[in-house]
Amino acid sequence: MRTLFGVTAAELSGEVADLAEFGLGSLPDRLRELPTWAERFALLDDVLAARAVEPVAPPPELGEAWRRMRGADGRVRVTDLADEVGWSRRHLGERFRVELGLAPKQAARVLRFERAARLLRGGRTDLAALAVECGFYDQAHLSNEWRALAGCTPGTWIAEELPFLQDQEVAAGQDSLA
């Protein structure tokens, strides 16, 4: 966000920003005029590359905490992160929220959810084992978080977003019968 718009993610968190505020008011019309997706993405690349400025780097401690959290897919305690970077838990939480727009616990929650989604896309369907592997207390915790973040249960998400998994199982069963 700093690189493209000169503001932190927290400054835009929960907001619907008008592109005109950033000098990009004509961008949607320019994109609509282009006939192919390749041309649209090329325009976006050009516009965003032209906007890129040398960002003010966040403190290295914050970068390290984010790398550690991402590397653990959100399965790291905030207290442990704060200790590792030499900050108090409160200071880490505030700096994290100001820079990224989310508190560390919220970011960890999203990272755990993303890991579970990746594993489901990869064909993992044992939700109890998936829950433990992704850092949820149990399958109920996974289901509650999934409902909160995706708006549905993992089972519904699998059925709606990943119908190919069931199609592959059916096709595999038919092949063995032939």
User: Span 119-177: which CATH code?
Assistant: 1.10.10
Kindly state the DSSP code that residue 21 receives in the 8-state scheme. G
For residue 164, the model assigns a pLDDT of 58
Q: What is the DSSP string of 28-42?
A: HHHHHH-SSHHHHHH
User: pTM, whole model, 2 decimals?
Assistant: 0.68
Place of tokens 């780097």: 57
Q: Is 108 exposed, middle or buried (0-12, 13-18, 19+ CB in 10 A)?
A: buried
Strand, helix or coil for residue 90: helix
Residues of the chain with CATH 1.10.10: 119-177
**Which pLDDT tens digits describe the chain residue by residue (178 residues)?**
777 777 777 787 777 888 888 888 899 999 999 999 999 999 999 988 888 777 677 889 999 999 999 999 999 999 999 999 999 999 999 999 888 888 999 999 999 999 999 999 888 889 999 999 999 999 999 999 999 999 999 988 888 887 655 455 444 444 433 3
For residue 31, the model assigns a pLDDT of 93
**Could you tell me the two tokens for 66?**
């984010």
For residue 171, the model assigns a pLDDT of 45
49-53: long-range contacts (C-beta < 8 A, 24 or more apart)? 51/4, 51/5, 51/22, 52/3, 52/4, 53/3, 53/6
Q: Cα–Cα distance between 18 and 96 in angstroms, integer? A: 25
